[in-house]
Amino acid sequence: MSLPRVLERAARPTLLLAQPGLADRAALPEGVRLESLGDPVAGADEERWGCVVVAARDRAALRAGLEAPPAVGRTRALVTWLAEATTPLVPRVRPEWPDPVELDAHLTDDGGAVTRLRLAGVAPTQELLARLRVDAGSRGTAASGGLVVARDDDPDAKVPADVLRGGAPADDPSPVTGRAAVVVRGAGPVAAEVTVDEGVLNPTGFRRDWERLVVELSADVLHGPVTESTVAALRDAQGVRVPGSATAYDVAALAMAGVPLLASTPPEGLAPALAALLTAEVDLSDAVAREVHSVHLRRAAAAGHSLLAERTRLGAAAGVRVAGLPTVSVVLATRRRALLDFAVTQVAKQRGADIELVLAPHGFDLDAELRAALRSRLGEIPLVVVPSPRSARFGDVLHAAAQAASGEVVLKMDDDDWYGPDVATDLLWARRTSGAELVGMPAELVYLDQLGITVRRRAVVERSAQVVAGGTMLIGRDDLRAVGGFRSVVKYVDAQLLAGVRLAGGRVHRTQGLGYLLRRTATGHTWATELGYFLSRRTVAAQWRGFRPSPLHEVGPDEWPARPAAVS
């Protein structure tokens, strides 16, 4: 449905908050007031609207425009119009508002989306808009992390903002905050950097197969800045070549979404690490190399151009403490003293995340000397040791460790698998962008100890899933507590947690797994039957003789497996 038609049907008086270029002021119908989305609106706080219409090109533009929603009175209805969308927006209704009487959300024939929410009475427009912004992005990007942003200096505000996106800086520090707000853009001291909304543009939906070879990012594909619709249309390509005319935003947005990019001349304004990746030699016809490239691009984009990166940068400039990625407690249970050193090495390697290790020796304890040795290996990472007797059920061992955790999220790691140094950080980002309660990786790469081969299994990545590898499950401590923690069982602890989360309405998201390598050391008389499962043509995508970590593993020389004894 076109925007004029939406406006025609909207109840009067109507307030239209539209991104510049979407609405023609001269052609507006009677009773519609047009304001530019994102700009302050003056003198409208006493109005009672029949309908407020928000029009934006896509979800990311909508969210950016509602970063600091204007105070514009009260309204009975809110209509959202997006020119490009892959799914319609469904806003939630806060309990303190009048009851909803109509909610209609649908995709339009021309690739956009319209959502109409009508209430039994009027509600504060600013609250409706704030709620809309949250619902338009992932759960992980809902909160501001403590940074208060305003569009313009509001002389009436009792507590001034930390950051102003326009206007002039105050001359004196505010008596309430003890500081003056910083201004970005225009004449401000902090440069505005290219920022991409990772709550909208992210790797979810990444495809590891392709139907087309490398495509050019041409006008056929691009009708304006990159949107989630652009990304969706490019998912089936082996890669995307970026022309010299592309903007830094386009490149950063595609990189954040994990689209494999190539460019001969990267645009100005990109983080140097991202610009360097664009011109790197990559064999995109190799599925693993292609995905590794995608992962590097996502990481560089996240570090340089995400909302979180901007918040961190602005917070530092404004002298404000802001929330970063959550702190992580690694929970690691083991029955095998011989594997302690290896397992702790995998934790000590982790970088980019604030972590502690809760080690749960099962059936043995660590003496002071060993603890000291592990502490020195862990460096800055705090160590908590929670021993359990051999008689304890494995689920209880993990539960005891999780109880001792102080991090905001818990990451379960296994004692004999290989972890690349960015596994924890990758999982935290996956949690932030997907909004899922539990995130993990597929057990895609598996080293079969007895045969001395590495297999890569077919795995679907970057989407909601039923199963993730038990040694990569990351879950918020509150969510873990809500499902009763690790279940008191001897086996299938991982599957029980996944089932518990899903049963409670939680989502499980599976991100890429190239930094995780499962070691299959089958024991007992059924080992060969179990290995046969990993050789089955139904699951095997590739096989290599020997130990073949991916480039994301960065395996140290002392972490390599011993050569296998020949099979019988």
Q: Which residues bind other proteins (CB under 8 A)?
A: 448, 451, 453, 526-529, 531-533, 535-537, 543, 545-546, 563, 567-568
- Residue with Cβ nearer other proteins (61 or 451): 451
For residue 567, the minimal CB distance to other proteins (Å) is: 6
Q: How many CB atoms lie within 10 A of CB 475?
A: 26
For residue 212, the minimal CB distance to other proteins (Å) is: 25
For residue 488, the minimal CB distance to other proteins (Å) is: 33
- Residue with Cβ nearer other proteins (2 or 536): 536
For residue 286, the minimal CB distance to other proteins (Å) is: 16
Give the residue among 320, 378, 316 at the shortest CA–CA distance from 347.
378
- Residue with Cβ nearer other proteins (482 or 535): 535
- Residue with Cβ nearer other proteins (157 or 544): 544
For residue 526, the minimal CB distance to other proteins (Å) is: 8
Phi then psi dihedrals of residue 45, to 5 deg: -75, -10
Give me 564's structure tokens. Answer: 């296998």
Q: How far is CA 416 from the centre of its chain?
A: 27
For residue 547, the minimal CB distance to other proteins (Å) is: 12
Position of tokens 């076109």? 2
Q: How far apart are CA 286 and CA 277, in angstroms?
A: 17
Contact 493, 473 (CB under 8 A): no
Render the burial of 482-519: b for 16+ CB within 10 Å, e for the rest: ebebbbeeeeebbebbbbbbbeeebebbbbbbbbbbbb
- Residue with Cβ nearer other proteins (317 or 542): 542
- Residue with Cβ nearer other proteins (158 or 563): 563
For residue 519, the minimal CB distance to other proteins (Å) is: 16
For residue 454, the minimal CB distance to other proteins (Å) is: 11
Structure letter (DSSP) for residue 470: G
Q: How many CB atoms lie within 10 A of CB 70?
A: 22
- Residue with Cβ nearer other proteins (413 or 453): 453
Contacts of 141 (CB under 8 A, 6+ apart): 197, 198, 199, 307, 308, 432, 433, 435
Q: What is the 3-state secondary structure (H, E, C) of 119-143?
A: EEEEEEHHHHHHHHHHHHCCHHHCC
- Residue with Cβ nearer other proteins (22 or 540): 540
For residue 524, the minimal CB distance to other proteins (Å) is: 11
Give me 437's structure tokens. Answer: 């309660």
- Residue with Cβ nearer other proteins (224 or 546): 546
Interstrand relation of 261-263 and 240-242 (parallel, antiparallel or unpaired): parallel
The DSSP secondary structure of 31-81, one letter per residue, reads TEEEEETTS---S-TT-EESEEEEEESSHHHHHHHTSS-----EEEEEEEE
- Residue with Cβ nearer other proteins (102 or 286): 286
For residue 518, the minimal CB distance to other proteins (Å) is: 16
Give the residue among 147, 185, 188, 186 at the shortest CA–CA distance from 170.
188
Interstrand relation of 48-49 and 113-124 (parallel, antiparallel or unpaired): unpaired
The DSSP secondary structure of 287-340, one letter per residue, reads HHHHHHHHHHHHHHHHHHHBHHHHHHHHHHHHT-----SPPEEEEEEES-GGGH
Q: How far apart are CA 274 and CA 332, in angstroms?
A: 34
For residue 414, the minimal CB distance to other proteins (Å) is: 23
- Residue with Cβ nearer other proteins (451 or 493): 451
CA distances from 486 to 267, 330, 399 (A): 49, 14, 5
- Residue with Cβ nearer other proteins (339 or 535): 535
Q: What is the 3-state secondary structure (H, E, C) of 143-167?
A: CCCCCCEECCCCCCCCCCCCEECCC
Give me 117's structure tokens. Answer: 């929410």
For residue 538, the minimal CB distance to other proteins (Å) is: 8
For residue 546, the minimal CB distance to other proteins (Å) is: 7
- Residue with Cβ nearer other proteins (25 or 537): 537
